[in-house]
A and B are shown apart, each in its own frame.
Chain A
């Protein structure tokens, strides 16, 4: 704080109209801080409201303030033991689906990126460009066809049909190659090929080069892709809605929370608030902690050279 002030004052002192500048700086600063206060209130009041509601024993949204009366953990207790809806099961489903999807998506992406980055083969260029083009279209556009496809598959292999996690994960993984290969390949390309070449002279196989040399070096980008994939899957709503609907035990948190609690503001608001907070907190913490990587990954997107 004092550093900034002295810097500003120092800047002001270098001009000749010293008094004028100081007043102007203080005024500008006050104005900026005012706008920032408004911005913070705007960004955080829904969050504060939810936190307060989750500790307020009243279940209705009516009469909730920013500071709960008689704070209690009654909603959290109910959440863990509710007969109305299986919150822990849904969180587990979401975490399970997102973890498996993220892990396999990273593996698929890393293996493909290694191949595209290190090997030269005919069809490579056409294949890369095709992958780039296909990933332009989000898979939810073909949601009707995906639904019909899982129906067909489910008649033959019930474990991969509609209303199964395996089916849903398979659909997510279909997009793994398109979305992740480009991002990862750009990163793989930055690792000097001399490293692999010297290892090869020492008699290492491709697989050993990948695991022992490249893999440890690309861990940061794998972490970013994994987290983005996890967060994206955790927050996805349309695919679970279309593919899992009708089987509450299979619901993800996004689906369960929206369907069971979405409309019950007068009775279930406190319960919803507790669930929303528990469901959002890990993701928010992860995001804030990794913000530099994630924003970098997002903005550079698929075209990182």
Chain B
């Protein structure tokens, strides 16, 4: 502590001119990139992330330009990454939890409107009294289409999807002689379609010929100029279908008509506490959520308990001078823990497999019945714990061995003099002393298993199913994953709301752990 008390006057040495020039060039490159990136982020309406990138960029510039902030230079890369990849996602989770972001609410408001006003496909229609053309249709062997149009004034155009109209087919190669109606008999590379072919062609009516400004389509026997189906009224935020006259107004980010029909696309809106209220009150959600919550706690608690009991038992047995070759034996016992968990869980899936797995077969041979490890809600939970026990006991064994060795042997001698039995010594001396030493590790192990997504997901994907979107072995984090990614309907808002519940629980566990162990005081002193 004495050295720390001596305030450090060190700061950046000015550096050589070459060093300064290199630093400035580096900053200039970074800034150029940052400015481009920020502009694009704002164009994509990623406001919050964009602002954070601005702050991070300004910070890095300040650190590398000011000698007073010299110390910050050393951790600026780590700090920048932490702000952008850890802090931002946390903030964004909180924000998303209060929106209805998810399937059907993916876009921003402007994007939703733009999508409906874009001149293509269903957004176009041919109004009554639209400019009409006489036409002939042509198709190439590889499925491209071409129209030859003659308007009321007798002017002729060729039209292809996405290309400007070609007056008299200028720009086209190999336009053959015109027939009596003024249409080319042949166009090189294309075959002319007859009436029946036109009527029966499925693709032709879906095409938009010409460019957005000059779009022409086929409807029945007519070729006519398309117009935009929807008109948007800024003041009332209403989209009106010009063909049917139906007006659509935004309800929760989706343009909805009075009869409940909706337009495609939709944007996400602030829905306040609705996700949380749904979680608490909607029967489809709150039922499974309570079950999952109880199992999450049970799973983490039982996983710690059984690995601790097994690990401690083995540690007690190993911890004796009577056992030869302890180092090698312990290393062998460490293998289940050293093996990557994803491989171990998959191996156990095979071992327990209901029809083929060797463990199930052995149990069946002995008892005439084996547990349905993956299809029954109770036995699948037992299966998870069986796997957890194998994965986790070596760690507990190591920890307990260390703790056992640190218990001074004098207190045992004293208790022996007092006539305590081995059993009494274990309960009254070893266990309490051990728990003080390994308590914090048990709590962090609980925390870890609280969010042990890998084991749950790999064992049985959270199944067997409880409801279509929840399973009997799902824990909160795997349930979140399901809601966000693995059911057909992604609901990022709801998933984020559950995440916030997990945040809160982790916070409580951590605070308790800090209280219990005095970690916070220790950390504060070691700063």
In the bound assembly, the distance between CA atoms of A90 and B429 in angstroms comes to 51
A61 near B82 (CB under 8 angstroms)? Answer: no
Report B-chain residues with C-beta under 8 Å of the C-beta of A8. 321-322
Prevailing SS type, chain B contact patch: helix
* Minimal Cβ-Cβ distance residue in A for B5: A120
Which residues of B, 318-357, contact A by the 8 Å Cβ criterion?
Answer: 318, 320-325, 329, 331-344, 346-351, 353, 356-357
| Complex contacts, B40 vs chain A, CB 8 Å | 156
B81 and A174: CB pair below 8 A?
yes
Contact B340–A254 (Cβ < 8 Å): yes
Knowing A144-B480, A148-B492, A303-B519 are in contact, say whether A61-B93 is a contact too (CB < 8 A): no
CA distance A61 to B525 in the complex (A): 56
Instruction: Pick from B11, B86, B323, B341 the residue with the most CB of A within 10 Å.
Output: B86
Given contacts A61-B356, A149-B89, A287-B334, contact A242 B81 (CB under 8 A): no
| Cα separation A254 to B390 with both chains bound (whole Å) | 19
Contact A36 B329 (CB under 8 A): yes
Cα A189 to Cα B1 with chains together (Å): 10
B444 touches A301 (CB 8 A): yes
Q: How far is the CB of B428 from chain A (nearest CB, A)?
A: 21
In the complex with contacts A29-B322, A32-B323, A43-B71 CB distance below 8 A:
no
Which of these binds chain B: A13-21, A215-223, A260-268?
Answer: A260-268
Interface residue? A121 (CB, 8 A) = yes
Q: Residue A242 contacts which of B101, B314, B349, B485 (CB distance < 8 angstroms)?
A: B485
A25 to B322, CA, bound (A): 8
Task: Known contacts A121-B71, A283-B340, A291-B334; decide if A140 and B477 are in contact (CB<8 Å).
Answer: yes
A78 touches B (CB below 8 Å) = no
Is the pair B75, A112 in contact by a Cβ cutoff of 8 Å? yes
Q: Is A86 an interface residue (CB 8 A)?
A: no
CB contact under 8 A between A238 and B333, given known A156-B41, A261-B346:
no
A80 within 8 A of B: no
- Please state if A284 and B339 are interface contacts (CB–CB under 8 Å): yes
Q: Are A39 and B71 within 8 A (Cβ)?
A: no
A173-B81, A238-B481 known; A140-B453 Cβ under 8 A: yes
Besides A121-B69, A152-B44, 5 more A-B contacts (Cβ < 8 Å) are: A120-B7, A144-B96, A176-B78, A181-B78, A235-B340
Taking Cβ atoms with an 8 Å cutoff, the residues of B that contact A are 3-4, 7-8, 10-13, 15, 37, 40-41, 44, 46, 49, 69-75, 77-79, 81-82, 84-90, 92-93, 96, 101, 313-314, 317-318, 320-325, 329, 331-344, 346-351, 353, 356-358, 390, 394-395, 398-399, 402, 441, 444, 451, 453-454, 457-458, 477, 480-481, 484-485, 492, 495-496, 499, 502-503, 506-507, 510, 519, 522-527
Q: Provide a sorted-by-A list of 18 A–B residue pairs whose CB atoms are within 8 angstroms.
A: A1-B324, A8-B322, A25-B322, A28-B320, A32-B317, A43-B394, A46-B336, A62-B356, A121-B71, A129-B527, A139-B89, A144-B480, A145-B92, A173-B78, A242-B485, A257-B342, A283-B340, A287-B334
What is A's interface to B at a CB cutoff of 8 Å?
A: 1, 4, 7-8, 25, 28-29, 32-33, 35-36, 39-40, 42-44, 46-47, 49-50, 60-62, 64, 108-109, 111-112, 114-116, 118-121, 124-125, 128-129, 131-132, 134, 136-149, 152, 155-157, 170-171, 173-178, 181-182, 186, 189, 193, 200, 205-206, 231, 234-238, 241-242, 254, 257-258, 261-262, 265-266, 269, 272, 276, 279-280, 283-284, 287-288, 291, 295, 298-299, 301, 303, 305
